[in-house]
Structure 1
Amino acid sequence: MEEEIIKTALRLPRVVHAKILDAATRSGRSMNAEIVSRLESTLLMEEPERLMPATKAMEASAIARQNIPDEIRSRVVAAINRAVRMGHKAAEVDFSDLELDTGLKEIEVDDLTEEIHQELINAGYDPKWDSGQSVVIFFE
C-alpha cells in the first residue's frame, strides 16, 4: 500500500536552505528527499527501543557522517586556541570517542579529515595524524 503524502510549505533561512541543497546534491537526492530522510532519521533516533530498518540505518549513518568534518574542525580550532592561551607550541586533539577506526575504512577517515588537514597546512601548521584517532598540530 502506498504511503499517504501530505504536501506542505516550508520557510527556511537562506543559510539552512543552502546547506540542505548542498547535502542533497552530495547525496544525489532532491531537496525534498533530503529533508524527509533527515527528519525520518532524527525521529527514529528518538525511539531507541525501536529497531530501525537497515536501509534507514544506512541513511542515518550517511547523514551523521557528513557532520564529522565539522566536529573535527571545531575540536582542532578549540585545541589550538587553548594551546596558544597556555603558551604551548603544539596542540593535541583526541578523536577516539568518535570511533572513526571502528565503522569506517581508512580511506573514508582520510576523506573526512582532508579538508581540515589542508586548512592547517595552508595556515602554516604541521599536523601529524594518528589514523583518525588523534592529531598533534605543531606551530613553532
Structure 2
Amino acid sequence: MKFFKEFKEFAVKGNMMDMAIGIIVGAAFNKVIDVLVKKVFMPPLSLMTNGLNYQDKKYVIRDAISNSNGEITVQEVAIEYGVLFETFLDFIIIGLTVFLVVKGMNRLRDKAQDPKNEIVATPKDIELLSHLTELMEEQNALLRNK
C-alpha cells in the first residue's frame, strides 16, 4: 500500500509528466541526430575517403557457408565496426548538443539569480535572500565600529 501512495505522490507532483515529456522529446531528438549523422555528416566524410561507406565496414571472423544450391547454411560472423563508428559519432553530437543547451540554460539561470542584474527579473526568494544578506552585512559593520 505504501508503494501506491508514494507513486500517487510522485505522479501528482508533476514529476511523471516531466519525465514523460523528457522521454518524448528525447526520442524525437534521437531521430534528428540519427538523420543528421547518416544524411549530413557521413556523406561528406564518405566523399573525402573516396566513397567509403562506414556503415558497411566490418571485420569478418567467419565467412558464410553456402550449399550447392547457393543457399546460405551457416551465417557470416563479423564485427561491424562501421556501425560502431556511426554510433560514436551520434554520441559525440548528442553530448555536444546537450552540453551547449545546459551551458545556455545555466547562463540564463545565473543571470536570473543575480539580484544586481537589472535586465532579467530576479525571483522573489533570491531577491529577499539578497536583501537579508545586505542587511546582515550592514549590521555586522555597525557592530564592529562600536
Q: Judge same fold: TM > 0.5, yes or no.
A: no
Q: Which has the larger radius of gyration?
A: 2
- Specify which structure has the bigger relative contact order, considering alpha-carbon pairs within 8 angstroms and separated by 6 or more residues: 1
Structure with greater helix share of residues: 2
State the TM-score, normalized to the length of structure 2: 0.29
State the TM-score, normalized to the length of structure 1: 0.30
